[in-house]
Amino acid sequence: MKVRTASRSRRAGRLIVVEGIDGSGKSTQIQLLHKWLEARGIEVVFTAWNSSDLVRQATKRGKKKNLLTPTTFSLLHATDFADRLTYNIVPYLKAGITVLADRYIYTAFARDAARGVDPQWVRDLYAFARKPDAAFYFRVPIEVAVGRLLGSRAKIKFYEAGMDLGLSADPVESFRLFQGRVIDEYDRLTTEYGFRVIDGTKNIDTQQRQVRDIVRRLYDEPAAEAS
Amino acid sequence: MTRFFGPGLPYADLGELKGVLITLEGTDGVGRSTQLVQLKQWLEVQGYGVIDTGWTRSELMSETIMAAKAGHTLNQLTFTLLYATDFADRLEKVIIPALRSGFVVLADRYVFTAFARSVVRGADPSWIRNVFGFAPVPDMTLYLKTDVDTLMPRLLRNRRVDFWEAGMDMHLHTDLYESARRYQWRLIREYNRMSRQYGFDAIDAALDPGEIQERIRRKVQGLLEERRMQTLTDNLEALRPLLFEEAPTPAARGGRGAAATRTAGATTTASPAVLVQAPRRRGDLPDA
């Protein structure tokens, strides 16, 4: 292995991602992590799933008019991801800045497979993605997620509930069935990709302590070299 | 059975795709669209239901692609994935429903255009083929073949060459003409490779347009006749048990069985040779 001098070698930023179904509490946890890292003087940027400008209009239209099929749903999200990887993730990592991602490619693996898309096809589709330094999975039973969503929001969204699959005419029941499938997929992915599983039913501060313990170790070890 | 480049659309019950999928490929400015319009009219006059579909024309993506191409943020990945999304939308909303209803579908450009454009921009050829693994393999791919020396004046005569046709995103040259020439040369090389790999029906794009149309029609007619024979032999195969296996016991049943045999026999006397050949012939034909 080539050894570089300290002045020339740049330490790559860490890529930390959170996964889990809607209502699992992952977004709360990544926000708390963000604050904590900044307080420790670590430079951090944040990127959210499905947030690029490139396909925003198409996604909005597709969702509003229910135009999306499992394949176009999958490809639109892959396009969004490719755009964010190019502009919002890779350059920052190269500059040594930590990137926090609310949902990553595993969201696509889980959701698209739950929609009936070929699981290997989705994995190959995202072959260009960068492997994260840590992937947290916030695991909650489906009833906990449903309870949180119903408590916080008036309506469950069409695609979030997998209404496009026609599992049930009732959005809450459809959500249960569809997100139940997503949880099964996440469980498969947990062993395949070595997720750090956090029990999402625990207190917020208990979960955050577990997350920080793991993240702290990422900064103790030497990071993978910027590529 | 419909074949796909990869796993296809596992969640969709496609049923039987009775129609015929014909694609027209070739680089920018070789005259695909003109040929396609004439082919469509000719088929319609003969009574075929025809639907045509073109690159980036999907309801979902056409505006997004136009806006993206006007900007400067696309790279090889996003460029490819935008096309793939457009293609998937047209496939599931236009092409497959039409094939299911027995239409002839004429596609102006198909997955091969995406393969060529991505590979010349440095994509892994097996990655891009996997991305389009949901696409059905066409029944025929007509390829308007040219070389870059013939193409360049033709491309310029049509209209001004745009940024993307010149491959300016690839930074092959700062001069528009030089960039276009190099880019188109690479595209043509990729199309030629695929022509061998996938068995395109190549036609020299330098021929007189009328002559090109004649050749296209002959090829398409050949395919459609082959399809008709296939359908006929399939139908006769389905009838075979009724015609032969039930026939040996008619006498005991008296008039009814004998009458049925006579009626069924009458429908097949016209083409007994086809019936005998059926199983072998089916094996000879390429998968539909």
User: Which ipTM value was assigned to this complex?
Assistant: 0.86
Any domain includes A102:
yes
> If we measure between CA atoms, which residue out of A218, A205, A221, A192 comes closest to residue A99?
A218
Q: Which helix (H) or strand (E) segment is B203 a member of?
A: strand B201-204
Token pair in block for residue A117: 């898309």
CB contact under 8 A, B11 and A75: no
Q: Does A82 touch chain B (CB under 8 A)?
A: yes
Strand, helix or coil for residue B60: coil
For residues A101 and A49, give the distance between their C-alpha atoms in angstroms, rounded to a whole number: 7
CB A121 within 8 A of CB A201: no
Q: What is the pLDDT of residue B24?
A: 98
Any domain includes A6:
no
Token pair in block for residue A9: 């070698």
Backbone phi and psi for residue A197, each to the nearest 5 degrees, phi listed first: -85, 125
Q: Look up the CATH number of the domain holding residue A113.
A: 3.40.50.300
Walk along chain B (288 residues) and give the pLDDT tens digit of each residue.
689 999 999 999 888 899 999 999 999 999 999 999 999 999 999 999 999 999 988 999 999 998 888 887 888 899 999 999 999 999 999 999 999 999 999 999 999 999 999 999 999 999 999 999 999 999 999 999 999 999 999 999 888 898 999 999 999 999 999 999 999 999 999 999 999 999 999 999 999 999 999 999 999 999 999 999 988 898 888 888 887 765 555 554 444 444 444 444 344 333 333 333 333 333 344 443
CB B196 within 8 A of CB B211: no
Q: What is the pLDDT of residue B40?
A: 98
- Residues 6 or more apart in contact with residue B90 via CB below 8 angstroms: B53, B57, B58
- Residues from B in contact with A at Cβ < 8 Å: 6-12, 59-61, 63-64, 67-68, 73, 75, 77-78, 81-82, 84-85, 88-89, 92-93, 124, 127, 130-131, 133-134
**Burial per residue of A175-202, b for 16 or more beta-carbon CB atoms within 10 angstroms, e otherwise:** bbbbbbbbbebbeebbeebebbbbebee
Q: How many distinct structural domains can be found in chain A?
A: 1
Any domain includes A5:
no
For residues B286 and B288, give the distance between their C-alpha atoms in angstroms, rounded to a whole number: 6
Any domain includes A121:
yes
CATH architecture of the region B20-206: 3-Layer(aba) Sandwich (3.40)
Token pair in block for residue A133: 């330094």
| Closest residue in B to A114 (Cα–Cα) | B11
- Residues 6 or more apart in contact with residue B172 via CB below 8 angstroms: B178, B179, B182, B183
Token pair in block for residue A65: 């008019």
Backbone phi and psi for residue B199, each to the nearest 5 degrees, phi listed first: 65, 55
Instruction: Domain of residue A156: give its range.
Output: 15-220
Q: What are A87-138's pLDDT values in tens digits?
A: 999 999 999 999 999 999 999 999 999 999 999 999 999 999 999 999 999 9
Any domain includes A134:
yes
Q: Tell me how crowded residue B150 is: count the other CB atoms within 10 A of its CB.
A: 14
- Which candidate in A79, A87, A89 is best for mutational testing of the B interface (most B CBs within 10 A)? A79
Strand, helix or coil for residue B250: coil
Q: Could you tell me how far CA A170 lies from the centroid of its own chain? A: 27
